[in-house]
Structure 1
């Protein structure tokens, strides 16, 4: 490791599991001090204990603006400042058979966690950073916010809104030397897909999830499997001075999925054979 975040104070929301955990572990390996902000108390406390003095846990529901303000204050109190804010916490909306079956019963919850949590985190971190020399904010969207598709309508809408909000925030906060960028992961195995299943689906979840994962593989140009560590590498780039001239961008980490459809046949090196 190159210690690119040596001594940097950071917050990772949704940091107790999945992609968030991968980011926390990568940041600590690079010398950062991290507040793990999550509603999963047992997982968060265990991870903080494993990482030692470099990490602390604070139970944080990002749908609650007061909780977001408190976790920013905790980072400043414990680590003397806030250099990097990663708004990663998110949830899916329930999978339905189609739009006509959607009752949007969990719309408010999905929007409060996914979108309001990002907006409040960006605002509160930005307020501190504006008075203390700037910083980096990384917001977690999804390729579901870039590519249209059926199912999980509220989730897709929330992730698309994160992208637009992040670009707008980047323009406004650039004056304070605060960079705001967005990551759009895709095809990364995490617990969020499992949480999208309805009670009816759970009985055959194993089969369902295998089918969805295979469809993702079929649509992905790169055939290697993505992992939380791949997303963490992208977040690290945006958190460091390597991206000091980069703001308002959206980076898909998806094996090429949003670039376009896969080629039916592998082309020869001279370009022939593709169709």
Structure 2
């Protein structure tokens, strides 16, 4: 398990959920990993856990919605480890749960777009500035099938993820000259804390019922019946981080059990036809 030996990686939003899975997987493959997040308690605990197992990781408090903090994250990584080979722009938040578009006040629009989209754009730019002068590298942006497949609810979140997908392709074209590959992962129906984080105390019970209903609907529509996990996303991220994907850029890879490929066709048993 040394596919990333000698490599340096940054994972934003790396303290929990999908980011935690990616950070742990990269560390297991020998990378030096900088875990960036705003949840200091979770991030520092993860670093202790991974380092006790023999990994080399550090934690950096970083609000990716602040361009100066993103720039500091990249520069401090290079200063500490002498390189930056893989940048995973994973940090993201959900827009609040509303009863529908008519009830949406868009109060959180700026915050969601600043974290989800600006954070990805700044992370890509700042990492690529270093990579371009040091033989290239891999940038991995986290989108969502919500940015591919239209649906009702959390429209600001969906819009931010759609923008990440388009930006990824644009950046891939521009940065290919410098051997900087830019790709996007689009997870779907991976249980993480992101949706719950958007709930208030007043609507938490309603959110839990809503999330359970939506996840069941996604299970019904998903061709593969096994549940997706953060580890599944981490395996895809590992592929994009290594030289195995050296000819891959500008791609969007859904990790969704086939959900965006189309709905399941339910066929009756022959004796009922």
Q: Fold conserved (TM > 0.5)?
A: yes
Q: Does 1:32 align with 2:31?
A: yes
For the residues of structure 1 that align with 2:107 and 2:131, how far apart are their CA atoms? 37
Q: Does 1:66 align with 2:100?
A: no
- Taking the TM superposition and a 5 Å limit, the aligned residue runs for 1:76-115 are 76-115=78-117
1:263 maps to which residue? 265
2:47 maps to which residue? 48
2:133 maps to which residue? 131
- 1:201–1:208 contact (8 Å) kept in structure 2: no
Distance change (3 Å), C-alpha of 1:182 and 1:145: same
CA RMSD for the aligned pairs? 1.7
1:7 maps to which residue? 6
With 73-82 and 208-217 compared, the bigger mean Cα shift is at 208-217
Instruction: Give structure 1 regions of 4+ aligned residues with deviation exceeding 4 angstroms.
Output: none
Structure 1 residue 200, shift from structure 2 partner: 3.3
1:175 maps to which residue? 177
Structure 1 residue 253, shift from structure 2 partner: 0.2
For the residues of structure 1 that align with 2:32 and 2:268, how far apart are their CA atoms? 45
For the residues of structure 1 that align with 2:145 and 2:77, how far apart are their CA atoms? 30
Structure 1 residue 201, shift from structure 2 partner: 2.2
For the residues of structure 2 that align with 1:187 and 1:266, how far apart are their CA atoms? 26
- 1:26–1:232 contact (8 Å) kept in structure 2: yes
Specify every segment of 5 or more residues in structure 2 that has no aligned partner in the other structure, as ranges.
Answer: none
Structure 1 residue 211, shift from structure 2 partner: 1.6
- Aligned length, in residue pairs: 270
Q: Does 1:16 align with 2:15?
A: yes
Distance change (3 Å), C-alpha of 1:159 and 1:266: farther
Structure 1 residue 208, shift from structure 2 partner: 3.1
**SS of aligned partner of 1:200:** coil
For the residues of structure 1 that align with 2:243 and 2:45, how far apart are their CA atoms? 31
Distance change (3 Å), C-alpha of 1:255 and 1:133: same
For the residues of structure 2 that align with 1:95 and 1:229, how far apart are their CA atoms? 27
Distance change (3 Å), C-alpha of 1:206 and 1:95: closer
- Taking the TM superposition and a 5 Å limit, the aligned residue runs for 1:215-254 are 215-254=217-256
Specify every segment of 5 or more residues in structure 1 that has no aligned partner in the other structure, as ranges.
Answer: none
C-alpha distance after superposition, 1:82-105 (max 9, x if no partner)? 000000000000111111110000
